[in-house]
Each structure stands twice: as C-alpha cells, then as structure tokens.
Structure 1
Amino acid sequence: MSGDNDFPGPGARTWRPPSGILIGLMVVALAAAAAAVLDTDPMDRLVYGLVGVVLLVLALVGRRRRLVAGPRGLLIAGAGGARIVPWSMVRSIECGRTRRMRTATLEIDLVDGELLLYGRLDLGAEPDAVLADLTGWFEGRDDLSGPARS
C-alpha cells in the first residue's frame, strides 16, 4: 500500500537517545573486553567479558530511534519492534514533572489506555521541546475520531 510508505508524513521528526551516552557505553564495553583479554584470572575474564557484551548490546539497542512523529501520527519504537499510532488513537500529550527529581517526562496517553513515557535520555532532547513539536501535529487533526490532516 503506497500510503504507508510515507508514514508519518512530510516534515517528520525523529528522537533518539543522545549519541554521547551510546559512545560512552561502547568505550566502556571495549575497555571491559580489553580487561577480559589481559586479565589472568579466569573468573575475572568471564565477568569482564559478560560486562562488555551487556554494555555493547545496550549501546546497539540504544541506537534505535525511540519516537518519530509527523502529520499522520507517531511511529513508536520499543524493544519489541516499532508500531504505527495514528493521531486518532492518541487521547492526550502532556509533559509531566516530578518535584523531587526535577525531571520532565513526555506523556502520551493512547485511546486504548496505554501510557507512553519518555524522558530526556530517551529522546535526546528536553521533553518540553518535543511536546511543542508534537502538539502542532496533534492539534492539527480534524477531530478525535478522524485522521490527521496532511
């Protein structure tokens, strides 16, 4: 179907974790691999090797984009894969704040009752800034039951 090829539409924006954190994970993974090779104790070599593999997997999984938004809806990426969420399936979008930690989270409430939460580390940007981008598309749809305007 040709309509799905351009989802989420022209002018789409993508958010993913900051590359600095992912590079840091890879550097520590390489250091653990080097320690596994250079250490003489077999148990330490095993532990260093496992730590290196876990950190490398985290860095590779973290490279994936978390959220793509455009005029037609959202593309949500998670550990289980990606899925398309049209704007008609989104109930609300807001930015929540915690007083103690002074952190902001982007909260996307779906019609089916699912709540998607994204922090700064998930998005690579401040949730307030992402909210401003999403609000334009979310408010630009025809109504709660209709598709988004292109």
Structure 2
Amino acid sequence: MSRPLLSTPRSSKHRAPHPNRGYRPYAVAGGLLALLLVVSAAGRAWLGPAQVISDDRRVQVDYPRLVRSGAEQTLHISVRGEPGKAVKLLLIGPLLSQSRVERISPEPQSSLRQGNALLLHFPSEATMERSVEVTLRSDAVGQLNGTLRAGPGSVVRLSTYRHP
C-alpha cells in the first residue's frame, strides 16, 4: 500500500511550526502601541488648552491645562461688560495662592492681594469687551484649582496640572 502524498507526520519533531507563532510578540506590541496612541490622544485632548465660559457667557478664559512646574502660565481673560462701567475680577484658590503673579496686562487701576485671593479693578471703557492677560508662575507640583469671578453670575472654574 502506498502512502498518500499529503500525509500528516506522526511524530512531533516532524511537524511544521505554527505559522503565526513567530508574529505573536509583534501583534501584542502593535496592540499596545495602538492603545498608547489612543490614550495619549485622549490625554492631549483633556490636558491641552482649555476654554471655559461662565454660565451667563460674560466671562471666557483660555489657559493651558498642563504646565511644567516653574514655567509661566498665562490666563487669557475676556469679560463682556456694560459700556462706561468698571470691570472687577476676583481670582481665588490654590491656583493663585501657590503661584506668583508675574504680570498683568493691561495694568489694572488698582489691585489687592490677600491670602489666596486677587482682586483686579479696571477702569471703564467705551467698548463692551475687556481683554486681560494674567501670567502666573508656580513651583508647585500637582493639580491646582481656582475660580474667577466677574460678578454674581459670572463665575468660571479653572483646573491645571503642574508636572515636574
């Protein structure tokens, strides 16, 4: 009796290697790389630049959420007010108490800092919109939160993470 041409070997030492066995580490590494890309994209979206707007839409703040410890962080604040009325901004919280104010532009008419609060008073303008930049620097590490108020209904909450 003759043996069939395509017979299966009877001993394990004659078996052909599994075709996918050599590629399994590459498949796992590729999957981990894809997962890392998805997580980093999601983290970039959360930790990237933030824009917060008050409920009454009078105050808008643009700021970076992720900042290196010791680096400057600039808050770009836009306030819509009434023509001819002064603008008062109150910044409260650890974001301010654990930071140094490097500069405020434009220069406020008056400012008062007490503990973890900073009150800025700007003179009235003919326009309804006032833009202010507050630059902070902190050596703290971790999450810092703060609140910016420009009136009873104009409140925004700020949250930033400082890494070493």
Q: Identify whether the pair has TM-score above 0.5, normalized to the shorter chain.
A: no
Q: Which has the higher helix share?
A: 1
Larger strand proportion of the pair: 2
Query: Looking at CA atoms only, which structure, 1 or 2, has the larger radius of gyration?
Result: 2
